[in-house]
Amino acid sequence: MSITYKSTRGGEQNVPASLAILKGLAQDGGLFVPDTIPAFDKSLKEYAAMDYKQLAYEIMKLYFTDFTKEELENCINRAYDTKFDTEEIAPLVEADGAYYLELFHGATIAFKDMALSILPHLMTTSAKKNGTKNEIVILTATSGDTGKAALAGFADVEGTRIVVFYPKNGVSPVQERQMVTQKGENTCVIGIHGNFDDAQTGVKNIFADKELAAYLEEKGFQFSSANSINIGRLIPQVVYYVYAYATLLKEGKIAENDTINVVVPTGNFGNILAAFYAKNMGLPIGKLICASNENKVLYDFFQDGCYDKNREFILTSSPSMDILISSNLERLIYWLAGNDAASNQAYMEQLKSAGKYEITPEMKDKLKDFVGGFASETETATKIKDLYDKTGYVIDTHTGVAAAAFGKYLENTKDTTPTVIASTASPFKFARSVMNAIDTKYDAMSDFELIDELSKVGNVSIPNAIEEIRNAPVRHKTVCEKEDMVAEIKKFLQV
Ligand SMILES: *Cc1c(COP(=O)(O)O)cnc(C)c1O
């Protein structure tokens, strides 16, 4: 069966997967969604006999139907290789009655590697399929994690360049070191004097600049985005939910067709939406527990059907979830509205003008498989410590939010369904917060001392991604004013 993509705002239809990946966002500002969610064409038992790459092929072929088998397998083989430090790619670890799905074994030790390691290959393949001769220039503004994951994914990928802008004084020291030491002749990292919003607004303006686009076209370049709303990032994330289920089945922890629950620490709503897609394909998922930190817009939305971003923005120890506009939620709203683009568009306009919208009671009824959860900073730190004291297993702060929210859910419901918690970052990436949660005495240590200490207390070796930056030379030293972003891009492209 052939699947095509359409915009959630109605402006584009019948777009093949490769073109949707190349475009990222639809022209009308909507997000691309598949015209139907495909059903599994093999049994869960058959999936359980496959390794990660084979399974990735089986799932992605159902969505990317204009890719040949060879094209898709090539992309998969280049993505899920030795960049990951474990053969399983996404191992499942049992601790204190839950299954932690470790999504942080890729190049930058956070879950964004799961999709950003394959996106560059999907994109260059898509460019070829659509006869694009230009070199693709990925432009990204980052508050820390996405930038590095995109750099690692696109570094030295033929036919691509990548330019990342970050707020010079707005990322953590480890995050900055990770980016400015990035290897690859096609990479460019620039600090700007300003905050993340300045960087993001600058990038949005560059994307909207038609004159610049025409000039670059002449020189053989075109911009694209590695943003989390790209369908080429969403679909690869469906794979690991099926893989988690298949692993439980293979290990005899569940029987075929048993129901499991999933808990996902959520920001932009991409990761949990992938779990929802997996459920709709036929994966027996009961509850989708959406965990928020103190920026609990989504928790409130699941409570009363009102999405309201008008509130204080809180900086927490799980920064990748500090988000007030969850862009991928638009795909769910569209589905709740019965795939009605006009209705979805009206909600999105309300969000833009008033900062909030309220869905109808009928739409809210369709949300019954979702459970909103949240955890405060204290609840998260307590959970990290308790889990460590009880089992010796150390989780990061984002995963801590999920684990704490799950604990509260269990207290309320006494639900005994086997549960998979998406573990989205290595504790080494947020060593200071993690170690402080375990014992405040660690606060006096330097970042790298903390990392050595974490390795000792957690009895896990220090990931390559951290070892690499300890002594790596700084390759990217440019810092510019926000007015000079275009000039810096031209300098890098030598045009
Ligand atoms: C991006 C990120 C999240 C949030 O994922 P979404 O798909 O945006 O909901 C959670 N944890 C970590 C570590 C992340 O990097």
3-state secondary structure 416-443: CCCEEEEECECHHHHHHHHHHHHCHHHH
> Ligand 1 centroid to 165 CA: how many Å?
19
pLDDT band at 86 (very low <50, low <70, confident <90, very high): very high
> Considering the entire predicted model, what is its pTM?
0.95
Looking at residue 84, what is its pLDDT? 96
62 contact partners, CB below 8 Å, separation of at least 6: 3, 38, 40, 41, 281
pLDDT band at 115 (very low <50, low <70, confident <90, very high): very high
Looking at residue 227, what is its pLDDT? 81
> Ligand 1 centroid to 175 CA: how many Å?
15
Instruction: Find the range with the poorest average confidence among 173-182, 209-218, 479-488.
Output: 173-182
pLDDT band at 474 (very low <50, low <70, confident <90, very high): very high
pLDDT band at 331 (very low <50, low <70, confident <90, very high): very high
Looking at residue 259, what is its pLDDT? 98
Task: Answer whether residue 205 shows pLDDT above 90.
Answer: no
Nearest CA to ligand 1 atom 11: 424
Nearest Cα residue to 416 out of 100, 97, 99: 97
Looking at residue 208, what is its pLDDT? 83
Terminal Cα distance for the chain, rounded? 44
The yes-or-no answer on residue 83 being catalytic is: no
Task: Answer whether residue 129 shows pLDDT above 90.
Answer: yes
> Ligand 1 centroid to 218 CA: how many Å?
37
Task: Answer whether residue 142 shows pLDDT above 90.
Answer: no
As for ligand 1, residues whose beta carbon falls within 6 Å of it are 110-112, 145, 228, 265-271, 320-321, 398, 424-425
Instruction: Find the range with the poorest average confidence among 75-84, 204-213, 296-305.
Output: 204-213
Summary mean pLDDT of the chain: 95
Nearest CA to ligand 1 atom 15: 320
Neighbours of 481 (CB within 10 A): 12
Structure tokens at 450: 């903390």
> 112, 424, 426: which to mutate for ligand 1, most atoms within 8 A of CB?
424
Task: Answer whether residue 143 shows pLDDT above 80.
Answer: no
What beta strand segments (E) does 146-302 contain? 160-167, 187-193, 221-224, 260-265, 285-292
Nearest Cα residue to 113 out of 465, 487, 488, 356: 465
- Kindly name the residue from 112, 279, 287, 296 that is annotated as catalytic: 112
pLDDT over 90, % of the chain: 85
> Ligand 1 centroid to 265 CA: how many Å?
7
Task: Answer whether residue 231 shows pLDDT above 90.
Answer: yes
